[in-house]
């Protein structure tokens, strides 16, 4: 099934390093009482730097001590909120800096012997950028309840070139409560990047995301378009297994089989994709219009539709195929179920629930939907533009349960097609 590209759907985030623009300046030298020197501190941007991107961070490097305070104020004396990176490499403003403004950063460091050093630097942000802004979309909206397989997805138009992906990835921040660290992984063409943990999210986990890309230099031609953030939580564990051999959907909740549902998948000329995907959207009613698709030519209203791919594969009510459900594939790639079953599923599932399809004639393409779970962890982390902690691994399982049963453990995007069947 063809995959089209567009940036829409839900709205998400990112981890980073300091903007290094030059040297530093000192207002006060280390105390010298008793001959002991304070810690050596380097701060960026350098004193007097102009045209600083609004995505700038206050870079801090300390020898012989540690940073104990950072204060950033604008030219009206207003203090800017922010927080340090976990590795202490920089201090990150909570929102983008304002354009064409003067800022003063004051960094205080305490030495091993109690001495302190204070460094100050004043810089000016750029009034505007002459570079084209790359369009980004965060597919993670606030105040939602997602399934345990929900990846954080950021999509880009055009795709991010390989040499710029590390800089972008550093500006994508994800926090989880309770902590459940994960990693980012890029599609080969740079149009989407996914964040997930080695294992499914634990039910009840709170996730906050920030994609702090506004004004970020991206390669030689582009800058980031916006600073987006969202916070939501993870709900109950639900997973669907769709088996072409039996023509049945097995619905699991917390590892227990709730129900089996007869299904009709894509016929031989328009097969359904096999692979691990997640529910992306849910519609009580929608219209499939395939008149612009190579294998299309029909318009049909459907009820209780749940999107699985950008290319137009859905689970949906199909009363016209109820006689075939459970024994024959007759759809244009969708998973057809009865009206009653489709309505029941809408009440059970959440966006972000895992859906595994097996035994069909074609495999799920990377990026055709939110395909973060369609590879194992070792393969997934190969797509990161930054080093991944070696200890970040899936939790060992003595007796592996159903793949979606237990949650736990530590581009443009393809255009959402209106096709279905």
For residue 418, the model assigns a pLDDT of 52
For residue 298, the model assigns a pLDDT of 77
Percent of the chain with pLDDT strictly greater than 90: 79
For residue 135, the model assigns a pLDDT of 97
For residue 294, the model assigns a pLDDT of 67
For residue 14, the model assigns a pLDDT of 33
For residue 33, the model assigns a pLDDT of 40
* pLDDT tens-digit series, residues 226-243: 999 999 999 999 999 999
Q: Record the tokens describing residue 240, joined without a space.
A: 């669907």
For the chain, list residues with pLDDT below 50: 1-34, 405-417
* pLDDT tens-digit series, residues 199-218: 999 999 999 999 999 999 99
* pLDDT tens-digit series, residues 281-330: 999 999 888 777 666 677 889 999 999 999 999 999 999 999 999 999 99
For residue 32, the model assigns a pLDDT of 39
291 forms beta bridges with none
């Amino acid at each position: 099934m063809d995959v089209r590209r567009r940036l829409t759907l839900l709205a998400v985030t990112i981890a980073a390093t300091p903007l290094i623009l030059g040297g530093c300046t000192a207002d006060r030298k280390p105390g010298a009482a008793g001959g002991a020197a304070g810690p050596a501190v380097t701060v960026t941007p350098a004193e007097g730097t102009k045209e600083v991107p609004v995505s700038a961070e206050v870079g801090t490097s300390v020898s012989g001590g540690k940073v104990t305070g950072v204060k950033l104020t604008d030219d009206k004396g207003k203090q800017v909120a922010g927080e340090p990176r976990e590795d202490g490499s920089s201090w990150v403003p909570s929102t983008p800096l304002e354009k064409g403004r003067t800022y003063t950063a004051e960094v205080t460091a305490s030495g091993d012997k109690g001495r302190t050093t204070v460094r100050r630097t004043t810089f000016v942000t750029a009034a505007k950028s002459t570079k084209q802004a790359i369009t980004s979309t965060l597919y993670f909206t606030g105040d939602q309840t997602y399934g345990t397989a929900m990846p954080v997805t950021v999509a880009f138009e055009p795709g991010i070139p390989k040499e710029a992906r590390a800089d972008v990835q550093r500006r994508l921040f994800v926090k989880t409560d309770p902590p459940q660290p994960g990693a980012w992984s890029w599609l080969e063409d740079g149009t989407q990047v996914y964040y997930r943990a080695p294992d499914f999210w634990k039910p009840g986990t709170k996730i906050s995301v920030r994609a702090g890309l506004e004004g970020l230099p991206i390669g030689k031609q582009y800058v980031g378009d916006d600073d987006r953030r969202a916070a939501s939580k993870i709900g109950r564990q639900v997973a669907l297994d769709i088996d072409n051999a039996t023509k049945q959907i097995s619905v699991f909740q917390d590892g227990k089989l709730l129900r089996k549902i007869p299904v009709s998948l894509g016929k031989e000329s328009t097969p359904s994709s096999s692979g691990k995907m997640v529910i992306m959207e849910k519609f009580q009613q929608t219209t499939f219009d395939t008149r612009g698709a190579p294998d299309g030519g029909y318009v049909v209203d459907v009820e209780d539709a749940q999107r699985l791919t950008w290319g137009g594969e859905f689970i949906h009510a199909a009363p016209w195929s109820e006689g075939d459900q459970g024994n024959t594939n007759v759809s244009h790639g969708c998973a057809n179920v009865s009206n009653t079953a489709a309505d029941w599923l809408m009440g059970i599932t959440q966006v972000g629930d895992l859906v595994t399809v097996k035994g069909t004639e074609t495999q799920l393409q990377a990026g055709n939907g939110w395909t973060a779970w369609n590879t194992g962890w070792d393969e997934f982390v190969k797509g990161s533009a930054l080093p991944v902690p070696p200890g970040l691994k899936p939790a060992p399982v003595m007796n592996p349960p159903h793949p979606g049963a237990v949650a736990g453990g530590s581009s443009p995007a393809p255009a959402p097609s209106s096709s279905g069947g």
